[in-house]
Amino acid sequence: MASPILNPSDQALFDRQSTEICAVLDKYIPANKPIAFIPFPFDGNVGNHMMWIAVNAYLESRSIRVAYTAQPWTLNVDHLKRAVGDGTIVFLGGVSVSRLWPWHAEVKRKVAAACPDNRLVSLPSTMILIDDEDRAEASSLWEGHSDAHMLARDELSAQSGGDAFPDTVTVETVHDTAFMLPPQPRNKQAAEMDIIWLARNDHEGAGFARPEDIMIFDWPSTLEPYSADVLISRICSKIRDVAPVFNPLTNRALNRAYMSVSRTMLRRGNQALDRGRVLVTDRLHPHVLAALRGQYCVMLPDLYGKNRAVWDYSSEAYSTIYWADNPEDALDLARDLAARDAAED
């Protein structure tokens, strides 16, 4: 299935945003040293895998060697330190410093404490901190570390993080790394319905009532537990733990297995979006995937303002992406867009 030919203005916007992201990453990730890239998103959230694929493509383009990678539950800081030496430790983006998803922050806290002399780079993230307690926890995340750099994926996050972190922590705004992905395949012939709604089923959801006559689904929460790549990743992690002498080999094999898992998840994400002409969603990354596919999408708010902040900073100018404040307006708009999409066939 061929990738879509995007609207020229959309393609130009993707190209410009990708160039901006690469320029910022170039500034903080030296090419002459190995890196650790953690944590691998061992989950079914397609958006996390979009970021993983995009960042690995960037690292490959600069011939930067990933000397260590791990999912959160297999992370061993002693192995990490031995593998990366004085290289840079790079953290995957997302919602990564607040207590909304606390294990992200705990990975950073654990690594920062164990690696005080390494450069730490947290890739573009939402850093909307929800109360004073959350801000206090975030402010101590890099305590005592003099070479920590937080990238915010919207201006609201940059303001929130800048207010919380000490002056020793660099905060810079740049687009989510998923915007670096190439155009994605779309099979319009596979559309079974005009509108599909990818709705959050977790604590970030805004609690909207869901229409009864629309297909509603969410990303799966887990990976296929017995797929070959998942099993290979588990075997490599075990070998690395019991036989550290083989770490250079197991790290390479592990990263290949992780990449294969992420590509599978992205393919499933594209297949899920193929089922409808128009996507309505209150998740963040599905709208990026829709834009990469040249597919109409209506974004809804999440509970904490993450979606609107990224829309304002990165997405408003894409020709296929629209905003609605509530489900009623979203569905009215989606019906109009479905009719427009059908007329364009």
DSSP letter string, 95-162: E-SSTTSHHHHHHHHHHHHH-TTS-EEEEEEE----SHHHHHHHHTTTTT-SSEEEEESSHHHHHHHH
Question: What whole-number distance in Å separates Cα of residue 139 and Cα of residue 165?
Answer: 5
Mean pLDDT, the chain, rounded, equals 91
Average pLDDT over residues 142-167: 92
The candidate with the shortest Cα–Cα distance to 125, out of 177, 180, 53, is 177
CB atoms within 10 A of CB 130: 14
Query: 314 by DSSP, 3-state: which?
Result: helix
Beta carbons of 288 and 49 less than 8 angstroms apart: no
Closest CA to 126 of 91, 102, 170, 161: 161
Which of 273, 279, 269, 276 lies closest to 299, judged by CA? 279
In which band, very low, low, confident or very high, does the pLDDT at 225 lie, cut at 50, 70 and 90?
A: low
Query: Rounded mean pLDDT of 300-310?
Result: 94
pLDDT at residue number 140:
86
Q: What would the mean pLDDT of 71-85 be, rounded to a whole number?
A: 92
Bin 186: left if φ > 0, else alpha if -120 < ψ < 50, else beta. beta
Taken in order 172, 175, 176, 182, the sign of the CA dihedral is negative
Q: Tokens 């806290």 appear where?
A: 109
Are residues 88 and 35 in contact, defined by beta-carbon separation less than 8 angstroms? yes
Q: If you average pLDDT over residues 100-129, what whole number do you get?
A: 89
Taking a C-beta distance cutoff of 8 angstroms, is the pair 129, 99 a contact? Answer: no
Q: Are the C-beta atoms of residues 90 and 29 closer than 8 Å to each other?
A: yes
Q: Which CATH number fits domain 8-180: 3.90.550, 3.40.50, 1.10.3470, 3.30.70?
A: 3.40.50
Percentage of the chain surpassing pLDDT 90?
69
242 pLDDT higher than 80: no
What are the φ/ψ torsions at residue 116 (nearest 5 degrees)?
Answer: -70, -15
Residue 259, CA distances (Å) to 49, 57, 255, 266 in order: 9, 10, 6, 11
| Average pLDDT over every residue of 198-226 | 85
- C-alpha–C-alpha distance, residues 227 and 293, integer Å: 27
Which residues does 266 contact at the CB level (< 8 Å), separation at least 6?
46, 49, 50, 53, 184
pLDDT digits (tens, 9 = 90+) for 169-182: 999 999 999 999 99
Q: What percent of the chain has pLDDT over 70?
A: 98
Q: What are phi and psi of 15, to 5 degrees?
A: -60, -40
Of 12-16, 105-109, 264-268, the poorest mean pLDDT is in 105-109
More confident residue, 345 or 324: 324
Q: Residue 205 is which amino acid?
A: G
Q: What pLDDT is stored for residue 3 in this prediction?
A: 61
User: 58, 275 in Cβ contact below 8 A?
Assistant: no
Alpha helix positions (H), 149-246: 155-164, 228-242
pLDDT of 111:
94
Pick the closest to residue 280 from 180, 187, 177, 193 (CA basis). Answer: 193
Q: What is the mean pLDDT of residues 243-259?
A: 83
Minimum mean pLDDT among 5-14, 29-38, 243-252: which range?
243-252
Q: Residue 132's pLDDT is what?
A: 85
Give yes or no for a contact between 211 and 298, defined as CB atoms under 8 angstroms apart.
no
Paired residues of 181 in beta bridges: none
Q: Using one digit for the tens of pLDDT, what is the confidence trace for 40-67?
A: 998 999 999 999 999 999 999 999 999 9
pLDDT, residue 2, reads 57
For residue 37, which phi and psi values (nearest 5 degrees)? -125, 110
pTM across the whole model: 0.95
Q: State the average pLDDT over residues 183-193.
A: 95
